[in-house]
Amino acid sequence: MTTADGRSPGVPIIELRHASFGYAEQAVVTGATLAIHPGEVVAVLGPNGSGKSTLVRGLLGLNDHLGGEVRLFGQPRESFTDFARLGYVPQRHTLSASVRATVAEIVAVGRLSHHRWWRPVLRSSQDAAIIDRALDVVGLNDRAHADVATLSGGQQRRVLIARALASDPDVLLMDEPTAGVDTANQQVLSTVLARLAARGTTMVIVTHELAALADIVTRIVVVQGGHLVFDGPRDEFVSRTGEFVASADHHHHEDEHRPRAPRLPGAPSAGPLDPRGGVHS
Protein backbone atom coordinates (compact mmCIF):
# COMPACT_ATOMS: atom_id res chain seq x y z
CA MET A 1 0.00 0.00 0.00
CA THR A 2 1.24 3.49 -0.87
CA THR A 3 0.03 7.03 -0.41
CA ALA A 4 -1.09 9.34 -3.25
CA ASP A 5 2.49 10.55 -3.76
CA GLY A 6 3.83 7.00 -4.05
CA ARG A 7 5.44 6.74 -0.59
CA SER A 8 4.85 3.95 1.87
CA PRO A 9 2.82 5.23 4.86
CA GLY A 10 5.14 3.33 7.19
CA VAL A 11 8.34 5.07 6.09
CA PRO A 12 9.74 7.40 8.79
CA ILE A 13 10.33 11.04 7.88
CA ILE A 14 13.76 10.79 9.51
CA GLU A 15 15.63 7.60 10.28
CA LEU A 16 19.07 7.15 11.82
CA ARG A 17 20.77 3.78 12.18
CA HIS A 18 23.94 3.76 14.29
CA ALA A 19 24.76 7.19 12.89
CA SER A 20 27.75 9.27 13.95
CA PHE A 21 28.26 13.00 13.38
CA GLY A 22 31.02 15.47 14.13
CA TYR A 23 33.48 18.00 12.77
CA ALA A 24 36.79 17.55 10.97
CA GLU A 25 36.56 13.77 11.43
CA GLN A 26 36.10 14.15 15.19
CA ALA A 27 32.90 12.43 16.32
CA VAL A 28 30.58 14.31 18.69
CA VAL A 29 27.57 11.99 18.41
CA THR A 30 28.06 8.24 17.90
CA GLY A 31 25.81 5.25 17.36
CA ALA A 32 22.55 7.22 17.13
CA THR A 33 19.51 5.14 16.18
CA LEU A 34 16.25 7.06 15.88
CA ALA A 35 13.07 7.19 13.78
CA ILE A 36 10.70 10.16 13.53
CA HIS A 37 7.22 9.47 12.15
CA PRO A 38 4.60 11.88 10.79
CA GLY A 39 2.73 13.85 13.45
CA GLU A 40 5.27 13.36 16.23
CA VAL A 41 6.56 16.29 18.30
CA VAL A 42 9.95 15.21 19.63
CA ALA A 43 11.97 17.20 22.16
CA VAL A 44 15.74 16.59 22.10
CA LEU A 45 17.30 17.31 25.50
CA GLY A 46 20.80 17.07 26.89
CA PRO A 47 23.36 18.75 29.15
CA ASN A 48 25.93 21.27 27.93
CA GLY A 49 28.05 19.91 25.09
CA SER A 50 26.12 16.64 24.89
CA GLY A 51 25.76 16.78 21.11
CA LYS A 52 22.03 17.42 20.76
CA SER A 53 22.44 20.28 18.25
CA THR A 54 25.11 18.27 16.43
CA LEU A 55 22.58 15.47 16.07
CA VAL A 56 20.01 17.68 14.33
CA ARG A 57 22.55 19.51 12.20
CA GLY A 58 24.08 16.19 11.25
CA LEU A 59 20.94 14.75 9.78
CA LEU A 60 20.52 17.97 7.77
CA GLY A 61 23.99 17.67 6.28
CA LEU A 62 25.36 20.72 8.11
CA ASN A 63 28.28 18.83 9.64
CA ASP A 64 30.24 15.63 8.97
CA HIS A 65 28.40 12.33 8.72
CA LEU A 66 31.06 9.97 10.06
CA GLY A 67 29.29 6.63 10.10
CA GLY A 68 26.05 4.71 10.13
CA GLU A 69 22.99 5.48 8.05
CA VAL A 70 20.83 8.58 7.65
CA ARG A 71 17.60 8.36 5.66
CA LEU A 72 15.18 11.19 4.90
CA PHE A 73 11.72 10.19 3.69
CA GLY A 74 13.10 6.74 2.96
CA GLN A 75 16.05 7.97 0.89
CA PRO A 76 19.74 7.98 1.86
CA ARG A 77 20.63 11.53 2.88
CA GLU A 78 23.50 11.63 0.39
CA SER A 79 21.06 11.26 -2.53
CA PHE A 80 18.22 13.29 -1.03
CA THR A 81 17.64 16.61 -2.82
CA ASP A 82 14.17 17.86 -1.83
CA PHE A 83 15.32 19.91 1.16
CA ALA A 84 12.21 22.11 0.95
CA ARG A 85 10.48 19.28 2.80
CA LEU A 86 12.68 20.04 5.84
CA GLY A 87 11.86 23.32 7.56
CA TYR A 88 14.92 24.31 9.58
CA VAL A 89 14.83 26.98 12.31
CA PRO A 90 18.48 27.46 13.38
CA GLN A 91 19.58 28.58 16.81
CA ARG A 92 20.21 32.31 17.10
CA HIS A 93 19.15 35.25 19.23
CA THR A 94 18.40 37.86 16.57
CA LEU A 95 18.31 38.39 12.84
CA SER A 96 21.12 40.44 11.33
CA ALA A 97 20.77 44.18 11.81
CA SER A 98 23.10 44.80 8.85
CA VAL A 99 20.40 44.06 6.26
CA ARG A 100 17.25 46.15 6.06
CA ALA A 101 14.27 43.93 5.34
CA THR A 102 10.61 43.67 6.23
CA VAL A 103 9.09 40.70 8.02
CA ALA A 104 7.34 39.59 4.83
CA GLU A 105 10.58 39.81 2.82
CA ILE A 106 12.38 37.52 5.24
CA VAL A 107 9.51 35.03 5.30
CA ALA A 108 9.49 35.10 1.49
CA VAL A 109 13.04 33.65 1.54
CA GLY A 110 11.38 30.37 2.53
CA ARG A 111 9.79 30.23 -0.93
CA LEU A 112 13.12 30.36 -2.80
CA SER A 113 13.52 26.57 -2.70
CA HIS A 114 10.41 26.33 -4.91
CA HIS A 115 11.89 28.52 -7.66
CA ARG A 116 14.48 27.63 -10.30
CA TRP A 117 17.72 29.46 -9.57
CA TRP A 118 18.16 30.55 -13.19
CA ARG A 119 14.79 32.27 -13.40
CA PRO A 120 13.86 35.68 -11.97
CA VAL A 121 12.09 35.28 -8.63
CA LEU A 122 8.63 36.70 -9.14
CA ARG A 123 6.33 36.23 -6.17
CA SER A 124 3.18 34.45 -7.35
CA SER A 125 -0.27 34.64 -5.85
CA GLN A 126 0.39 31.18 -4.40
CA ASP A 127 3.62 32.41 -2.80
CA ALA A 128 1.79 35.41 -1.34
CA ALA A 129 -0.95 33.20 0.10
CA ILE A 130 1.58 30.83 1.71
CA ILE A 131 3.56 33.75 3.18
CA ASP A 132 0.36 35.25 4.59
CA ARG A 133 -0.63 31.90 6.07
CA ALA A 134 2.80 31.43 7.68
CA LEU A 135 2.60 34.90 9.23
CA ASP A 136 -0.90 34.15 10.47
CA VAL A 137 0.25 30.94 12.15
CA VAL A 138 2.94 32.80 14.11
CA GLY A 139 0.67 35.77 14.84
CA LEU A 140 2.60 38.40 12.88
CA ASN A 141 0.23 39.39 10.07
CA ASP A 142 0.00 42.88 11.51
CA ARG A 143 3.80 43.28 11.35
CA ALA A 144 4.29 42.01 7.79
CA HIS A 145 5.63 45.34 6.54
CA ALA A 146 7.60 46.23 9.65
CA ASP A 147 11.40 46.36 9.57
CA VAL A 148 12.65 43.28 11.45
CA ALA A 149 15.12 45.48 13.33
CA THR A 150 12.16 46.98 15.18
CA LEU A 151 10.94 43.60 16.48
CA SER A 152 11.71 42.03 19.84
CA GLY A 153 13.85 38.90 20.07
CA GLY A 154 10.78 36.73 20.57
CA GLN A 155 9.06 38.25 17.55
CA GLN A 156 12.17 37.69 15.44
CA ARG A 157 12.19 34.05 16.50
CA ARG A 158 8.61 33.78 15.25
CA VAL A 159 9.70 35.33 11.94
CA LEU A 160 12.28 32.54 11.57
CA ILE A 161 9.60 29.93 12.23
CA ALA A 162 7.38 31.57 9.61
CA ARG A 163 10.30 31.56 7.15
CA ALA A 164 10.65 27.79 7.65
CA LEU A 165 6.89 27.29 7.30
CA ALA A 166 6.89 29.21 4.02
CA SER A 167 8.79 26.36 2.35
CA ASP A 168 5.69 24.22 3.05
CA PRO A 169 7.76 21.53 4.78
CA ASP A 170 6.76 18.05 5.95
CA VAL A 171 8.74 18.45 9.18
CA LEU A 172 10.06 21.37 11.24
CA LEU A 173 13.47 21.04 12.90
CA MET A 174 14.05 23.75 15.50
CA ASP A 175 17.19 24.42 17.51
CA GLU A 176 16.38 26.15 20.83
CA PRO A 177 13.34 28.13 19.61
CA THR A 178 12.57 29.55 23.06
CA ALA A 179 16.14 30.40 24.09
CA GLY A 180 17.16 33.99 24.68
CA VAL A 181 13.63 35.38 24.98
CA ASP A 182 11.74 36.46 28.07
CA THR A 183 9.01 34.46 29.77
CA ALA A 184 6.17 36.32 28.07
CA ASN A 185 7.61 35.66 24.62
CA GLN A 186 8.33 32.05 25.53
CA GLN A 187 4.63 31.67 26.27
CA VAL A 188 3.75 33.21 22.89
CA LEU A 189 6.17 30.87 21.14
CA SER A 190 4.72 27.92 23.02
CA THR A 191 1.26 28.93 21.80
CA VAL A 192 2.56 29.05 18.22
CA LEU A 193 4.13 25.59 18.54
CA ALA A 194 0.94 24.23 20.14
CA ARG A 195 -1.02 25.58 17.17
CA LEU A 196 1.34 23.77 14.80
CA ALA A 197 1.09 20.56 16.82
CA ALA A 198 -2.71 20.75 16.70
CA ARG A 199 -2.45 20.93 12.90
CA GLY A 200 -0.47 17.68 12.91
CA THR A 201 2.87 19.30 12.08
CA THR A 202 5.81 16.97 12.68
CA MET A 203 8.45 18.72 14.81
CA VAL A 204 11.88 17.93 16.22
CA ILE A 205 12.80 20.54 18.83
CA VAL A 206 16.20 20.87 20.48
CA THR A 207 15.41 22.69 23.70
CA HIS A 208 16.47 23.46 27.24
CA GLU A 209 13.04 24.90 28.10
CA LEU A 210 11.04 21.71 28.42
CA ALA A 211 8.58 23.33 30.83
CA ALA A 212 7.49 25.74 28.08
CA LEU A 213 6.78 22.82 25.76
CA ALA A 214 5.53 20.22 28.23
CA ASP A 215 1.99 20.12 26.83
CA ILE A 216 3.19 19.94 23.23
CA VAL A 217 5.82 17.21 22.98
CA THR A 218 4.74 13.62 22.47
CA ARG A 219 8.17 12.08 22.87
CA ILE A 220 11.51 12.92 24.43
CA VAL A 221 15.02 11.99 23.35
CA VAL A 222 17.94 12.59 25.74
CA VAL A 223 21.52 12.95 24.50
CA GLN A 224 24.41 12.55 26.96
CA GLY A 225 28.08 12.30 26.10
CA GLY A 226 27.26 12.00 22.42
CA HIS A 227 24.93 9.02 22.93
CA LEU A 228 21.15 8.68 22.94
CA VAL A 229 20.41 7.48 26.46
CA PHE A 230 16.62 7.80 26.45
CA ASP A 231 13.91 7.73 23.82
CA GLY A 232 10.35 7.48 25.00
CA PRO A 233 7.06 9.17 25.89
CA ARG A 234 6.94 12.28 28.07
CA ASP A 235 5.36 10.52 31.06
CA GLU A 236 8.10 7.90 31.16
CA PHE A 237 10.75 10.63 30.99
CA VAL A 238 9.16 12.48 33.91
CA SER A 239 9.26 9.32 36.00
CA ARG A 240 12.95 8.79 35.21
CA THR A 241 14.27 12.36 35.14
CA GLY A 242 16.62 11.73 38.06
CA GLU A 243 18.60 9.28 35.93
CA PHE A 244 19.78 12.02 33.59
CA VAL A 245 22.29 14.82 34.12
CA ALA A 246 20.78 18.34 34.11
CA SER A 247 18.98 17.50 30.90
CA ALA A 248 17.32 20.84 30.29
CA ASP A 249 18.85 23.38 32.61
CA HIS A 250 21.22 25.49 30.56
CA HIS A 251 21.32 27.09 27.16
CA HIS A 252 24.59 26.93 25.28
CA HIS A 253 26.27 26.97 21.90
CA GLU A 254 27.78 23.52 22.11
CA ASP A 255 29.47 23.51 18.71
CA GLU A 256 30.49 27.13 18.36
CA HIS A 257 34.21 26.51 18.79
CA ARG A 258 34.34 23.54 16.44
CA PRO A 259 35.53 23.83 12.82
CA ARG A 260 32.89 24.19 10.15
CA ALA A 261 32.38 21.30 7.76
CA PRO A 262 31.32 21.65 4.10
CA ARG A 263 27.58 21.33 3.59
CA LEU A 264 25.91 18.89 1.25
CA PRO A 265 24.66 20.56 -1.92
CA GLY A 266 21.17 21.90 -1.31
CA ALA A 267 21.29 21.50 2.47
CA PRO A 268 19.71 24.26 4.58
CA SER A 269 22.14 27.04 5.38
CA ALA A 270 22.50 30.54 6.73
CA GLY A 271 21.74 33.27 4.22
CA PRO A 272 22.31 36.99 3.72
CA LEU A 273 19.60 37.82 6.25
CA ASP A 274 21.28 35.74 8.96
CA PRO A 275 23.87 36.95 11.51
CA ARG A 276 27.43 37.33 10.34
CA GLY A 277 29.56 34.31 11.03
CA GLY A 278 26.86 31.79 10.09
CA VAL A 279 24.89 29.49 12.35
CA HIS A 280 26.18 28.51 15.74
CA SER A 281 24.72 25.64 17.66
pLDDT surpassing 70 at residue 62: yes
212 or 118: which leads in pLDDT: 212
At 138 the three-state DSSP class reads coil
Distance CA 5, CA 93 (A): 38
Given this model, what pLDDT does residue 171 score?
94
Position 142 pLDDT exceeds 70: yes
pLDDT of residue 157: 87
Domains with residue ranges and CATH for the chain: 14-94+169-243 (3.40.50.300)
Count other Cβ atoms within 10 Å, centred on residue 59. Answer: 26
Percent helix, percent strand, percent coil in the chain, to nearest 5: 30, 25, 45
- pLDDT over 90 for what percent of the chain? 42
Q: Which of 73-82, 210-219, 232-241, 257-266 has the lowest mean pLDDT?
A: 257-266
Separation of alpha carbons 95 and 99, rounded Å: 9
Q: Which residues pair with 202 in a beta bridge?
A: 171
Does this model's pTM top 0.95? My answer is: no
pLDDT at 93: 53
> Residues 2-60: pLDDT tens digits?
444 434 457 899 999 999 999 988 999 999 999 999 999 999 998 878 899 999 999 88
For residue 136, pLDDT over 70 is answered with yes
Q: How confident is the model at residue 94 (pLDDT cuts 50, 70, 90)?
A: low
The mean of the pLDDT values for the chain is 80
The pLDDT value recorded for residue 262 is 42
- Amino acid 251: pLDDT: 43
pLDDT at 99 over 90: no
Distance in angstroms (rounded) separating the CA atoms of residues 84 and 232: 28
Each residue's pLDDT tens digit, 185-241: 888 888 999 999 998 999 999 987 788 888 899 999 999 999 999 999 988 988 887
pLDDT in the model for residue 92: 67
- Give the per-residue pLDDT at 98: 63
**pLDDT of res. 75:** 94
Instruction: Tell me the average pLDDT across 265-271.
Output: 43
More confident residue, 161 or 281: 161
Nearest 10 degrees: Cα torsion 13, 247, 65, 272: 80
